[in-house]
Amino acid sequence: MNLKTLLSKQHISIGLIWLFHVSGIIGIIYSDASWFIKATPLNLMLSFILLMINTEWSKKSLFLVVFCFSSGMLAEIIGVHYGFIFGTYSYGDALGSKFLEVPFMIGINWCILIFITGFIAQSFLEPLWKKTLLGVGLMLFLDLVIEPVAPVLGFWSFETGLASFHNYAGWAVVALPLQILFHKIKIKIEGPFPFHLFILQFLFFTILLLKINSLGI
C-alpha cells in the first residue's frame, strides 16, 4: 500500500473517526469524563461531515439529508412535548444547542443513522422491503445499547427510567419511511466508511454500558 493510498479520502476519514471515538471512550472512562461528554456534539458533527464527504452528491442526496434532519427533529419535538411517539422523555444539555427543547445534533444523528444503516443494508440485500427492514433493524439494534447509557451521559432521560417498547416502536415508525426513501433515491457512499462508523458507535456505547457502574459521572 503506497502513501497515496494511505492518504486517500476514505482512509483519512476512517482514521479520524477511530481516533475520536477511541479517545472518547478512554477519556470518559479514565480521564475528565465531563470534558469528553461535552465534546459529543463535535464528535457527531465530525462524523456527519466525514460521512457527507464520502457520499456521492446530487440534488436527491441533498434533499434526503434535509428531509432526514427535518423529519428527525420534528418527530423528536413532537415526542418531547407530547410523549406519544417515543414515550415521555426530555433532553439534557450534553448534546448542545436546542430548538424547542431538542438538540440540533439529534437531527444530525438521524441523518447519520439512516445513511449508515441504509448503506449497510443495501450492501447485503437487494429487494427493497428486505433492505428497508434490515436498515430499521440495525437502527433499533444500535439504540438498544445507546438507551441505557444516554441518561448517565446526560443525553436524554425517560420519565419511567429506561426506554420502553414504546420508544423502539416509535423509532421503527419514524425510520421506516426514511429507509424506504434512502433506497428509492439510491444513495451512493464510497468505500467502507459507514461500516466503520456503525461498528464504532456500537463499540462506544457497549463499552460504556459495561463500565456504567464504575463511571462515577
Q: Helices 193-210 and 104-124 sit at what angle, rounded to 10 degrees?
A: 120
Residue 9 has pLDDT above 80, yes or no: yes
Residues linked to residue 90 through DSSP beta bridges, in sequence order: 157
| Residue whose entry in the numeric block shows the C-alpha cell 479520524 | 16
**The amino acid at 190:** E
**What pLDDT was estimated at residue 7?**
61
Q: What is the rounded average pLDDT of the residues 177-191?
A: 92
* Alpha carbon 208 to chain centroid, angstroms: 16
- pLDDT-based confidence at 26, cuts 50/70/90? confident
For 146-177, the pLDDT digits (tens) are 999 898 888 999 988 888 899 999 999 999 99
- pLDDT-based confidence at 214, cuts 50/70/90? low
Rounded distance between C-alpha atoms, residue 149 and residue 156, angstroms: 9
Rounded distance between C-alpha atoms, residue 194 and residue 171, angstroms: 20
Q: What is the rounded average pLDDT of the residues 76-96?
A: 92
**The amino acid at 149:** V
What is the SS3 assignment for 56? coil
Residues linked to residue 156 through DSSP beta bridges, in sequence order: 91
Residue 1 has pLDDT above 80, yes or no: no
For 188-210, the pLDDT digits (tens) are 888 899 999 999 999 988 888 88
Within the chain, strands assigned E span: 89-91, 98-99, 102-103, 156-158
